[in-house]
Structure 1
Amino acid sequence: MKNVELLAPAKDYLSAVAAVDSGADAVYIGGARFGARQAAGNDVGEIARVADYAHRFGVRVHATLNTLLWDSELEDAEAQARELIAAGVDALIVQDMALRRMNLPVELHASTQVSVRTPAMARFLGEAGFARVILERALSLDEIRAVCAATDAEVECFVHGAICVGYSGRCFLSRSVSGRSGNRGACSQPCRLPWDLTDGAGYTYLKSRHLLSVRDMNLSQRIGDLLDAGVTSFKIEGRLKDVNYIRNVVAAYRQAVDQALAARPGLRRSSVGESIPDFAPDPSKSFTRGESQFFFDGRRAGVASFDTPKSVGERIGRVAQVGPKGFRLERPADLAPGDGICFVRDGELVGTRVNAAEGPRVEPNRMDGIAPGTEIFRNYDHRFNKLLSASRMRRAIPVTALVEVTASGIRLVFTDCEGISAEVGRAAEFAAAKNPDANAAAVRSQAARSGDTIFAVGGVEVVGGERFVPASLVAELRREGLDKLLQARAARPRSHRILPENPAARYPSPTVTAEENVTNRLAEAFYRDHGVQHVEPPLELAPSFEGRCVMRSAYCIRREIGECLRERPRLQGDLYIEHGAQRYRLEFDCAHCEMKLIAAEK
């Protein structure tokens, strides 16, 4: 059987618990430093708490240590890595190859920041000792399939959430705009700003549009395709998202993954426990810039979100009529007081609250900008979020119980769904019961009460029910037995793929380019030992970006606006994007179907 993993983000302990309870098979969380989300860091004690809770269900904990490292930081980074390992993490997600050289007793995963896009790179990383490669989000299904076929490493891919418009780990736009670097965990997200599209000589084709902002990913309907391609870990983006987002999205993907696994008997989920939501999961009701499958079926137009980089939520309908206090939709909608609605006005997203709603008629808090033909979206569902906040969803491990009663004692055995058992008992004299059937039923009922434990006792066999056993004794033994079973689960050795670095592995190119960012001596030694002859100075440390490529992307503005160079476009000559003093020339590599941003003089 091959294990399959649903991997959820965790900002902190509470988020991690919500992810586990909602059905995640693994969570990823950031340490105090050196993570690609500085705002989602946690101390080692917090991560130890996460590991303790997660491991009860066989849920793995992956810690992000995925920024570039300077030589002066290597000692601190290694110290943090070893603290995280001691805290119980199952894997480290890394970008900098220096961590491969630290002889760490832990499973290593090559972060999406490594920008794995080719079979050759995936094969190399697997041979170099990485147990898993995490793919760039812009790959198509065919490209993913080819990567999976080329490597013995596990393959993980994002299936939901925000998308970096540039290749992950190869984007320097934030660094060139503000000095804040995405490769150092501090991206300022200039891709979400409004930009002008110009000819560079004073003429503006598009004014103040979010030209680099793309919709969020939702591959919930393609899990089966990814399983068949060879992907074994499905990753949800969102380490900065709130607990309600985690509950809703993880529960939705738990259902999608389970449905796909049910049709593939050679695959199984990698953790245990049943999570039954007390709400109907719906990712469109949580933060979303609009859903997209991005380039999963090949590169195409329609993935951008030019109007806004903010959450638009679910489409409600189009306005048919307006009045002084409200409007009427073309068809009835399930809106309610307290809902947040939004619409685009003059290229900007405008939001308001619903005061009253019935059928197609809606009375918002403000009517400014709402006219016939306006498309209305709901970006906050008040009733749904109230359900999420009040959710008491728990995760429970199925357990069976055997109660054996003799004249001289009682024995209670609990066995969980993985075959782990715990036995407790008492020596005592038990007289015959006046009503054996009622006594056996009472014993069975008492043994099945799992209370606030992580277990759900689903079947109890009673042997010797004709002898009377006090309910208080059965309850006492049940508590002892389930606690002992919990300890037995915690004591199990965890399975890891801690792989050696194969010195014979050859890097796919004789050169490590500037955009691949070798920023310390250990990383340089790693590449040279694997056949690299030339290591270019890292772009991350460039004193100036003028004339340099600060972003490469599978996304293309020309394609998005119907001006692809392969299709006789009307727009000729150079194109630029501009925001204030920031100016970038667009360069189009049609042979590879890529767009580049070249920093121009300010």
Structure 2
Amino acid sequence: MNKPEILAPAGNLEKLKAAIDFGADAVYLGGSKLNLRAFADNFSTEDLKNGIKYAHERGKRLYVTLNVIPHNEDVVGLEEYLIELHELGVDAVIVSDPGIIMTAREVVPELELHLSTQANNVNWKSAIFWHKQGVKRIVLARELSLDEIKTIREKLPEDCEIEAFVHGSMCMSYSGRCLLSNYMTGRDSNRGQCAQPCRYKYYLVEEKRPGEYYPINEDDKGTYIMNSKDLCMIEHIPELVASGINSFKIEGRMKSAYYVASVVKAYREAVDEYFKDPEKYTFNDKWMDYLVKPSHRRYFTGFYFGEDNKQYTESSAYIRNYDIIGIVEEYNEEEKRAKIKQRNKAFEGDKIEILKPKGDNIVAKLTDIRNNKNEKIESTPVAQMIYSISVNDVLEKGDMLIKSKEAK
């Protein structure tokens, strides 16, 4: 039984560091071209160098997405970009288009290739086909059951890895292949510009009664008929491991550093606990607690167990129970003070939790808040401001301060 890799999203350098610090074995990110998150921060060449250095110094891997469905103008400069990525030292590129795969094999034959979920691989024969084209890892389509995944694993050569999404947003179309955004907003979802029209509120209009709008549900709210729930498989680690998946993938390059840290921590702890002694493994409720605090939609288990109700039609809004209010910059043990970089406004006396890479969250209160002039202040109103607090627990750089929206 091989321990699966935990693969985390990295929308920028801060999120990359959070993912690795909180337990990810590898990260995936978008570079300057050909990735499906055109509106993420993405990585400049300099950021990519720093990200690779940060990952490799800690024994972690870094993958770059080139998973768009490219038009002619998109492949201009492709050869040079692939060579640049290879020379920078990325561990693999995630690809879906045969033309990009062919070009990679020609110009950087040593560079590891992973087949994107955008390629919609749902059977073992297709997986073997791609493996014969030089693909090392198949990122499976999200529409597969665990039984189907087991069969694919059994039919594949041992040196062909499989990766599957275990957590995050789902798409109502087939593993992301959708034209709604193109038709409704002119933004091509298959080139990284999705406007998520599946999340819009829709009403029904009868052809001969223009202007008369009928809610699809029998109420006055309309309905979100294409709004998918979020995938969450934290309660099914044994089943995922038994299916033979080599890499557990977390969705969320557009999500916050707090989301990345909290989700990675949950899956890191759950997987590690399972591999300590599979026979005695039990689920710990705190892992779900880590997952319900960051921004998310209602959870379900996707296609893994044939669950019928995959849409949530009452609202497309995220559930946001907690906000990140700051990130620890440094801690002075002698003075028992932590220097914090502000992320959201907080107030003297606020009840907070401190999210650390290892161990349970620390519950504390914001006390003796001081600005960078050491002047006592009652709140932290300025974005990205540096302030300090009194705290007895030893904190480390990168620890995150979070606060319930209801806590005072």
Q: Distance in 1 between matches of 2:215 and 2:14?
A: 47
**Is 2:147 aligned against 1:142?**
yes
Aligned residues: 317
Which residue matches 1:283?
A: 291
State the shift of 1:78 in Å.
2.4
Match of 1:298 among 295, 302, 306: 306
Amino acid at match of 2:261: R
Match of 2:223 among 177, 193, 209: 209
Q: Distance in 2 between matches of 1:131 and 1:238?
A: 23
Q: Distance in 1 between matches of 2:204 and 2:88?
A: 50
Which residue matches 2:156?
A: 151
Which residue matches 2:91?
A: 90
Q: Partner of 2:203: helix, strand, or coil?
A: strand
Cα gap change, 1:223 to 1:146, in 2 (>3 Å) = same
Cα gap change, 1:200 to 1:312, in 2 (>3 Å) = farther
Which residue matches 2:181?
A: 174
CA contact (8 A) 2:143 2:175 kept: no
Amino acid at match of 1:80: Y
Matches within 5 A, 1:25-36: 25-36=25-36
CA contact (8 A) 2:15 2:260 kept: yes
State the shift of 1:240 in Å.
0.9
Amino acid at match of 2:126: M
Q: Partner of 2:354: helix, strand, or coil?
A: helix
Which residue matches 1:74?
A: 75
Which residue matches 1:191?
A: 198
Matches within 5 A, 1:379-398: 383=351, 387-388=354-355, 391=356, 393=357
Which residue matches 2:124?
A: 119
Q: Distance in 2 between matches of 1:18 and 1:245?
A: 10
CA contact (8 A) 1:5 1:26 kept: yes
Cα gap change, 1:283 to 1:38, in 2 (>3 Å) = same
- Once the two structures are superposed, residues 82-135 of structure 1 have per-residue CA deviations (whole angstroms, 9 ceiling, x without a partner) of 212222210000121112112223100110111112222222212221111111
State the shift of 1:205 in Å.
5.6
- Once the two structures are superposed, residues 347-401 of structure 1 have per-residue CA deviations (whole angstroms, 9 ceiling, x without a partner) of xxxxxxxx9xxxxxxxxxxxxxxxxxxxxxxxxxx855x524xx5x489xxxxxx
CA contact (8 A) 2:215 2:223 kept: no
CA contact (8 A) 1:5 1:234 kept: yes
CA contact (8 A) 1:251 1:281 kept: no
Q: Partner of 1:92: helix, strand, or coil?
A: strand
Cα gap change, 1:151 to 1:176, in 2 (>3 Å) = farther
Question: Identity of aligned pairs, percent?
Answer: 34
Q: Partner of 1:54: helix, strand, or coil?
A: helix
CA contact (8 A) 1:289 1:312 kept: yes
Which residue matches 1:258?
A: 272
Q: Partner of 1:89: helix, strand, or coil?
A: coil
Cα gap change, 1:280 to 1:227, in 2 (>3 Å) = closer
Which residue matches 1:53?
A: 54
Which residue matches 1:421?
A: none
Q: Distance in 2 between matches of 1:107 and 1:288?
A: 32
Q: Partner of 2:93: helix, strand, or coil?
A: strand
5+ residue gaps in structure 1? Answer: 266-278, 315-334, 339-354, 356-381, 396-451, 454-602
Which residue matches 1:431?
A: none
Q: When the two structures are superposed, what TM-score results if normalisation uses the length of structure 2?
A: 0.71
Cα gap change, 1:296 to 1:2, in 2 (>3 Å) = closer
Note the aligned Cα RMSD (angstroms): 2.9
Q: Distance in 1 between matches of 2:102 and 2:260?
A: 34
Cα gap change, 1:128 to 1:3, in 2 (>3 Å) = farther
Q: Distance in 2 between matches of 1:212 and 1:201?
A: 25
CA contact (8 A) 1:249 1:281 kept: no
State the shift of 1:71 in Å.
2.8
Q: Distance in 2 between matches of 1:201 and 1:234?
A: 50
Q: Partner of 1:254: helix, strand, or coil?
A: helix
Q: Of the two, which has the highest radius of gyration?
A: 1
Amino acid at match of 1:19: A
Q: Partner of 1:191: helix, strand, or coil?
A: helix
Q: Distance in 1 between matches of 2:142 and 2:151?
A: 15
Amino acid at match of 2:102: R
Amino acid at match of 1:214: S
Q: When the two structures are superposed, what TM-score results if normalisation uses the length of structure 1?
A: 0.49
Q: Partner of 2:216: helix, strand, or coil?
A: strand
State the shift of 1:36 in Å.
0.4
The structure with the largest strand share of the pair is 1
Q: Distance in 2 between matches of 1:130 and 1:218?
A: 28
Amino acid at match of 2:6: L
Amino acid at match of 2:293: K
Amino acid at match of 2:180: L
State the shift of 1:195 in Å.
1.2
Match of 1:240 among 240, 251, 254: 254
5+ residue gaps in structure 2? Answer: 280-286, 326-346, 360-395, 398-408
Q: Distance in 2 between matches of 1:26 and 1:281?
A: 23
CA contact (8 A) 1:198 1:206 kept: no
Which residue matches 1:590?
A: none
CA contact (8 A) 1:115 1:136 kept: yes
Cα gap change, 1:56 to 1:281, in 2 (>3 Å) = farther
Which residue matches 2:111?
A: 106
Q: Partner of 1:130: helix, strand, or coil?
A: coil
Amino acid at match of 1:387: I
CA contact (8 A) 2:301 2:307 kept: no
Amino acid at match of 2:304: F
State the shift of 1:300 in Å.
1.0
Which residue matches 1:132?
A: 137
CA contact (8 A) 1:162 1:238 kept: yes
Which residue matches 1:16?
A: 16
Amino acid at match of 1:12: N
Amino acid at match of 2:33: R
Q: Distance in 1 between matches of 2:315 and 2:46?
A: 39
CA contact (8 A) 2:230 2:299 kept: yes
